[in-house]
Amino acid sequence: MNDTPQELERWDRDHLWHPFTPMQVYADNRPIIIEKAHGCFLVDQDGRKYLDGVSSLWCNVHGHRVEALDSAIREQLDKVAHSTLLGLGNVPAIRLARRLVELAPAGLTRVFFSDDGATAVEAALKMAVQYWQQSRRPKPGKRKFLALRGAYHGDTLGAVAVGDPELFNRPFRSLLFETIRAPQPYCYRCPFGLEPASCRVECVAELEQMVRKHADELAAVVVEPLVQGAAGMIRAPEGYLRRVREVTRQCDVLLIADEVAVGFGRTGTMFACQQEEVQPDFLCLAKGLTGGYLPLAATLTTDEVYSAFLGRPEEGKTFYHGHTYTGNPLGAAVALANLDLLPKVLERLPAKIDRFREHLQRMAQLPHVGDIRQCGLIAGIELVADKSSKQPFAASDRVGVRVCRLAMEQGVFIRPLGDVIVLMPPLAIDLALLDRLCHTVHACIAQL
Ligand SMILES: *Cc1c(COP(=O)(O)O)cnc(C)c1O
């Protein structure tokens, strides 16, 4: 326990391969090593504090070291840390399944647990395909998916196949199943060349046509409701999601709502689907589910889907899929404590969202800010070399990384998506810290 900071830095460099991290650059810089945290702050081993401006990668809800969450884990630890969900129940997982069904859009009555966002999506994809083979009206030809350009659904191969091939996935293309790709509702760089004033939501009209055309082979449409996260916080126009739901219903295609990033209050409501009164056939949840404490995910679905998997074992209708730590009791216990705290946090969100909007409107005046997209406590700030022509910076300028590095020096931890600066503070952040986060980021962008 008494390793020196220098030793830890060396071992980090010598042995640890970080996710989504260009390791050569990482190894050239002095690493920041987090030792502890409290509230909205992370503290490194030199005692330097960083405001957690991206909720530890979009998952933290109430801050760090929250008494109610800490003690939920400690109390569960006195009972059992883990026991399998394969053919066996456990108390927190059962209680959590019931709570999720109560909170979720109507019709989602069955909960399948897994460990992270990618596996929550993966389970939905497999369930959808198997459903069409076993449904009361079997249509086994329906085994393809339609997803959007810019989509991100996680890094396991099925999730990668529905994600945008351009995003991170070039090396794996040969391994992926074919996915039908619809345009993305990227209003700032509209794929149809329209301006907001002339927009008739052509992008969703095109999606509707594609769903109609491919209905016989489509198992499901996969979307990130309201906001495409990793694409750069792309905010869909109002009514977009509702129209996706309408066309999928008309064409007998299932709808998978990946709310891994936007669930649990992030957009201002418990779930993003609720803002357009959409009831998907699958709801994928992870990130905020445990308040950002432990890896746990859930795939919710309907009785209609679930019942297609019933029958005598020899009929072969069982969903043979699962992970060792599925429904982990520690994770489920802290998720329950998170859900207990959420209603109060949601009540206080509107004032924070308004204040956030005011800050963002000021940032929009800065010379290199091309577009700002906000939804609840999510913001994507797209930086451009030239505002009037929307000309992007050269990739080699790494402006997103540079801005985030400046912020780090000022004690604010943020991570970009290319040239989009992401702000996604814990929902429990207070107004004073929200001001500090936005002022710092404003100043760092102004330095460009
Ligand atoms: C983060 C994310 C995932 C993947 O979740 P992991 O827990 O990282 O596997 C899937 N979908 C969306 C929309 C996400 O933002």
Residue spans of the domains in the chain: they are 32-65+346-446, 83-327
Do you know the residue count of the chain?
448
Structure confidence at residue 194 as a pLDDT band (50, 70, 90) = confident
Contact 260, 283 (CB under 8 A): no
Distance (Å, rounded) from C-alpha 390 to C-alpha 399?
Answer: 15
Would the pLDDT of 1 be above 70? Answer: no
Structure confidence at residue 200 as a pLDDT band (50, 70, 90) = confident
Q: What are the residue ranges of helices labelled H in 224-302?
A: 240-250
Alpha-carbon distance values, 100 to 12, 110, 340 (Å): 38, 9, 12
Ligand 1: centre distance to CA 262 (Å): 10
Beta bridge partners, 379, equal 374, 423
The residue whose CA is least distant from atom 10 of ligand 1 is 153
Mutate to test the pocket of ligand 1, among 18, 54, 153, 282 (most ligand atoms within 8 A of CB): 153
Residue type, 386: D
Structure confidence at residue 352 as a pLDDT band (50, 70, 90) = very high
Ligand 1: centre distance to CA 154 (Å): 5
Mutate to test the pocket of ligand 1, among 148, 287, 323 (most ligand atoms within 8 A of CB): 287
Contact 203, 223 (CB under 8 A): no
- Predicted local distance difference test score (pLDDT) of residue 23: 95
Ligand 1: centre distance to CA 5 (Å): 32
- Residues contacting ligand 1 via CB (< 6 Å): 116-118, 121, 152-154, 224, 229-230, 258, 260-261, 286
0.85 cut: is pTM over it? yes
The residue whose CA is least distant from atom 11 of ligand 1 is 153
Phi/psi of residue 353, nearest 5 degrees? -65, -40
Using one digit for the tens of pLDDT, what is the confidence trace for 393-425?
999 999 999 999 999 999 999 999 999 999 999
81: Cβ contacts below 8 Å, ≥ 6 apart = 329, 330
- What ranges make up the beta strands (E) of 83-206? 108-114, 144-148, 179-182
Using one digit for the tens of pLDDT, what is the confidence trace for 219-239?
999 999 999 999 999 999 999
Phi/psi of residue 98, nearest 5 degrees? -65, -45
Using one digit for the tens of pLDDT, what is the confidence trace for 299-317?
999 999 999 999 999 999 9
Mutate to test the pocket of ligand 1, among 57, 152, 424 (most ligand atoms within 8 A of CB): 152
Give the mean model confidence (pLDDT) for residues 177-188. 96
Residue with tokens 């962008």: 445
Our measurement of the distance from residue 370's CA atom to the centroid of its chain's CA atoms, rounded to an integer in Å, reads: 24
- The mean pLDDT of the chain is 96
CB neighbours of residue 102 within 10 Å: 8
Give the mean model confidence (pLDDT) for residues 263-279. 98
CB neighbours of residue 338 within 10 Å: 25
Ligand 1: centre distance to CA 15 (Å): 25
Helix (H) or strand (E) holding 302, with range, is strand 297-302
Give the mean model confidence (pLDDT) for residues 351-378. 98
Question: What's the number of CA atoms in the CB half-sphere (13 Å) around residue 241?
Answer: 24
Contact 324, 115 (CB under 8 A): no
Residue type, 189: R
Contact 282, 255 (CB under 8 A): yes
- Predicted local distance difference test score (pLDDT) of residue 255: 99
Ligand 1: centre distance to CA 158 (Å): 13
Would the pLDDT of 330 be above 80? Answer: yes
What's the CATH number for 83-327? 3.40.640.10
- Predicted local distance difference test score (pLDDT) of residue 411: 98
The atom number, within ligand 1, closest to the CA of 286 reads: 7
Ligand 1: centre distance to CA 113 (Å): 15
The atom number, within ligand 1, closest to the CA of 295 reads: 7
87 or 194, higher pLDDT: 87
CB neighbours of residue 392 within 10 Å: 17
- Helix and strand element counts for the chain (H, E): 13, 17
Residue type, 315: E
Using one digit for the tens of pLDDT, what is the confidence trace for 145-179?
999 999 999 999 999 999 997 877 788 999 999 99
Report DSSP state, residue 64.
B
The atom number, within ligand 1, closest to the CA of 259 reads: 13
Using one digit for the tens of pLDDT, what is the confidence trace for 358-371?
999 999 999 999 99
Distance (Å, rounded) from C-alpha 305 to C-alpha 136?
Answer: 10
Of 251, 216, 188, nearest to 243 by C-alpha is 251
- Predicted local distance difference test score (pLDDT) of residue 165: 79
Ligand 1: centre distance to CA 400 (Å): 21
- Predicted local distance difference test score (pLDDT) of residue 52: 98
Strands 416-417 and 369-375, how do they pair? unpaired
Would the pLDDT of 138 be above 70? Answer: yes
Give the mean model confidence (pLDDT) for residues 273-284. 98
Phi/psi of residue 142, nearest 5 degrees? -85, 95
Question: What tokens were used for 330?
Answer: 């520690």
Structure confidence at residue 2 as a pLDDT band (50, 70, 90) = confident
Contact 339, 101 (CB under 8 A): no
Fold of 32-65+346-446: Aspartate Aminotransferase, domain 1 (3.90.1150)
Would the pLDDT of 294 be above 70? Answer: yes
